[in-house]
Amino acid sequence: MKLTINQVAQLVNGTINLPEKGEETLDKFSKIEEGKKDSLCFLANAKYEHFLYASEATAVLVNKEFKPQKKIKPVLIYVEDPYQALAKLLQFYEQASQKNSVGIHKTAIINEKTKIGKNVFIGAYAVIEAGVEIGDNCIIKAHSFIAENCKIGKGTELNTGVKVYHNSKIGKNCKIHAGTIIGSDGFGFAPKSDGTFDKIPQIGNVVIEDNVEIGSNCTIDRATMGSTLIKSGVKLDNLIQVAHNVEIGENTVIAAQTGISGSVKIGKNCMIGGQVGFAGHISIADGSKINAQSGVSKSIKEPNKSWSGTPAREFRQHYKALAMLGKIPSLINRIKKLENNQKE
């Protein structure tokens, strides 16, 4: 797909420094350090500015306040936020380049009691059971499975091999990537006196609201009773475990390999790093930021604070403690010297 520099500027509400070059075309994106002719780059971090002066890119997105310190070849497109402008352009490119496939593959198995909206695509070997409702403009890719009585909102996409267990509800404009499982049984077993376990039936469901994106190979367990709830705008990375009866608030983002135990309530607008572990039945305040590999064993009650470590502590306390740990070897040596002096 080719766009002129002027067209790109219009799409991102930007202005250019060389209007006479506005009709030059761009046909690809590239990183600032790899910019080639006919490509568009972006500069959002000042530490990469030196790449700009050697770049062969045709145009570069920059902040409105940016002033080059040396001579440059690319046309500069001035925007409020280069990173957000790039995201908007990539979305535009993706939508324009995708094939608008519509129709049902001949190998798909669809129960006659399923309701399917307009302009829906259902791929090869997909299986859809009785009572399922699929909204308009949905994409259900090959080898996906949707169990009985599920509801899929308008414009939602299930990628290859997604499995959705019975009674699950997925909202509008969601995207669920390959291999993810929605609605598998929560991990519930009652110990018996003989050391064995009785399985506790999981009779709830999973509810995913609108505009949620879930990465590949995630597992979101159904509730024991009630619903496991993923609220609007949540973004989950790959390989995340969400246990039964968890609630994740609006616009929270969670990185890969995080594990969330049963009945945890995570607030809205939280940012959670990779490999974070949550103990069960705790609450996390709105706007919390939790660093990678932290272990959260207690509720976080104060909003908009940063946390780190295991057990998780307020960010500054954690790094003070780490600094003290670094002094332990010298303290031990001092103690040994004092002990030796006393013996003498």
Distances (CA, A) of 103 to 41, 106, 123, 178: 37, 9, 8, 20
d(CA 232, CA 213): 10
Longest CA–CA span in the chain (Å) reads 93
Is 244 annotated as catalytic?
Answer: yes
d(CA 231, CA 206): 11
Residue with the two structure tokens 């077993």:
189
- Among 177, 244, 281, 318, which one carries the catalytic annotation? 244
- b/e per residue 163-198 (b: at least 16 CB within 10 A): bbbbbbbbbbbbbbbbbbbbbbebebeeeeeeeeee
d(CA 40, CA 54): 14
d(CA 18, CA 22): 7
Which residues belong to the active site? Answer: 244
